[in-house]
Amino acid sequence: MQHLEALTREAAALANGDIDTIGASGLHGLLPLTADEKEVARTLQICNACRYCEGFCAVFPAMTRRLEFPKADIHYLANLCHNCGACYHACQYAPPHEFAVNIPQAMAKVRVQTYGDFAFPAVLGGLYRRTGMTVALALAGGLVLFLLMVLAMRGSLWHAPLAGNFYAIFPHNLLAAMFGAVFLFAMLALGIGVTRFWRQVTPGTRDGESHGAAAGSAAHDALRLKYLDGGHGKGCNNDDDAFTLLRRRFHHFTFYGFMLCFAATTVATLYHYLLDLHAPYPVTSVPVLLGIAGGIGLLIGPAGLLWLNLRRDPKTMDAAQKPMDRGFIALLLLTSASGLALLAFRDTGAMAALLAIHLGIVMALFVTLPYGKFAHGIFRSAALLKFHIEKRRPADLALGSD
């Protein structure tokens, strides 16, 4: 009986996360689990014995293909989680239950850790823990840089109207070089980061296997935000146990708004170099129409996401990530607001100041892309790809009850 009491104590310790459920076996020579990773492993062990949440999203079906949760799997599953909150509200083991299962929060904590762990250059991974300051500094730096450039080049922020000709303020090639370099660096840093992540979690390629179809499914799920639909199509949880599609819709506004703005820039670049058509473009031109549509999407989406974020049940979030979430949302919102303001007043004497402000914000956005919330899209897409590769394979387990 004493032995049973010891077992009970051990179980209680497990439930409290005091013991590493994975054991000290070394996990194929990997680093020991962090406290946040242990919490994910602990709770997934409980989830895997329950499985009631299998219908909500991809995380639980992926979990059932496993019996243990080593580091790489924890990283993979954490990034597969869309933080919809459904499993928390449905959980019979959520606090105040002594098992204290809270998958959305546990996954969120590991997720941000992976962004930092895999960041390039590694020394900048720490920025993820200080995203509020990172965004603030980038924004201040961007604004100061461009405002000073205006002053240096023109001597004054105010000027006679220039009919919207930005290049009278900043030469086209200067802007193209600055933004091109920063954007390429951001893409390179994110690319290296996600490649490092992929190397750790890769499912490999089996004989006769092509990942094309899996990539298609992953793209489908990412572009449609399938796992914000709750599995039943009613959406995810925000304030409480009610389902809402608002988060999915505002995210669509944000993402597709961003993509339209990106398309506007791309078309304008093609106009410039291929067609020798130079800005300013008329309001009815393709680049400006794309920019207006994208800008409006990028106003509605982030505003909605910010509103939802402020109302979100704090129990399903990692409180430490609020600055990262809200900082990124704020930069997107400022980007669209300043861009639309610039368009509205490009024929006035305020154009130079507005242009400097807009460029400063966009520069801050680009600089922080690899060190902030933007990373979630890249890492989650990689996790979805792995999910769809695995899903096409027969299960490795044959658990008796099936």
- Cα–Cα distances (Å) from 272 to 119, 161, 346, 366, in that order, read 34, 23, 19, 22
Task: Give least dist CB 88 to another protein, A.
Answer: 10
Q: Which is nearer to another protein, 61 or 116 (CB)?
A: 61
Least Å from the CB of residue 64 to another protein: 5
Considering the complex, state which of residue 56 and residue 366 has its C-beta at the smaller distance from another protein. 56
Smaller CB distance to another protein: residue 93 or 371?
93
Rounded least distance, CB 84 to another protein, Å: 11
Q: Which residues bind another protein (CB under 8 A)?
A: 1-4, 7-8, 10-12, 14-15, 21, 23, 45-46, 48-56, 61, 64, 67, 86-87, 89-93, 95-99, 231-232, 234, 241-242, 396-402
Using DSSP's 3-state secondary structure scheme, residue 236 falls into strand
End-to-end CA distance of the chain: 35
Q: Are 329 and 306 in contact (CB under 8 A)?
A: yes
User: Could you tell me the smallest distance in angstroms from the CB atom of residue 19 to another protein?
Assistant: 9
Q: Which is nearer to another protein, 231 or 349 (CB)?
A: 231
Measured CA to CA, the distance from residue 18 to residue 313 in angstroms comes to: 27
Of the pair 97, 172, the CB lying nearest another protein is at: 97
Asked whether the CA dihedral 191, 197, 198, 200 is positive or negative, the reply is: positive
Calpha distance 396→45 (Å, rounded): 18
Instruction: Give the Å distances, CA to CA, from 358 to 135, 197, 253, 385.
Output: 15, 33, 20, 35
Shortest CB 142 distance to another protein, Å? 45
Beta bridge partners of 244: 236
Report, in Å, the least distance between residue 89 CB and another protein. Answer: 6
CA proximity to 103, closest of 66, 51, 67, 68: 51
At 184, the amino acid letter reads L
Q: C-alpha angle with apex 227: 72 to 94, nearest 5 degrees?
A: 70
SS (H, E, C) 249-267: HHHHHHHHHHHHHHHHHHH
Instruction: Kindly tell me which of 50 and 306 has the beta carbon lying closer to another protein.
Output: 50
In the numeric block, the tokens 């949880």 are attached to 237
DSSP 135-154: HHHHHHHHHHHHHHHHHHHH
Which is closer to another protein, CB of 99 or CB of 166? 99
Minimum Å gap between C-beta 269 and another protein is 47
Minimal distance, residue 53 CB to another protein, in Å: 6
Q: Which is nearer to another protein, 95 or 180 (CB)?
A: 95
Q: How far apart are CA 380 and CA 257, in angstroms?
A: 19
